[in-house]
């Protein structure tokens, strides 16, 4: 396996979750191919909207897939908590 992505049903929409490409196979179009196939399959199953969350590098892929940024989600944690 060189990569994976999954789509979760979110009541008429889908949520792109857990996209990953092995570091040794990145920058070869695999992420874009995975995303393209997932979105095509989602549309075929009737999804009209998709929620996509990503790292900065992953977010650069979405505009190439025909998505536009409509918002930014910020996640905060207490300074006393260590994030792994």
Consecutive 10-residue averages of pLDDT for the chain (84 residues):
89 84 92 89 87 77 80 79 61
Distance CA 48, CA 33 (A): 20
> pTM of the full predicted structure?
0.67
Single out the residue of 30, 4, 32, 29 nearest to residue 17, CA to CA: 4
Tokens of 13: 């929409």
- Exposure letters 12-29 (e unless 16+ CB within 10 A, then b): eebbbeebebeeeeeeee
Cα distances (Å, whole numbers) of residue 57 to 10, 41, 46, 60, 74: 25, 24, 28, 6, 16
pLDDT of 57: 73
């Amino acid at each position: 396996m060189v990569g994976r992505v999954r789509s979760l049903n979110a009541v008429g929409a889908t949520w792109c979750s857990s996209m990953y490409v092995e570091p040794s196979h990145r920058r070869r179009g695999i992420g874009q191919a995975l995303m393209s196939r997932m979105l095509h399959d989602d549309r075929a199953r009737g999804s009209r909207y998709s929620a996509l969350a990503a790292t900065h590098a992953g977010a650069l892929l979405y505009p190439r897939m025909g998505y536009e940024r409509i918002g930014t989600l910020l996640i905060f944690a207490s300074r006393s908590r260590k994030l792994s």
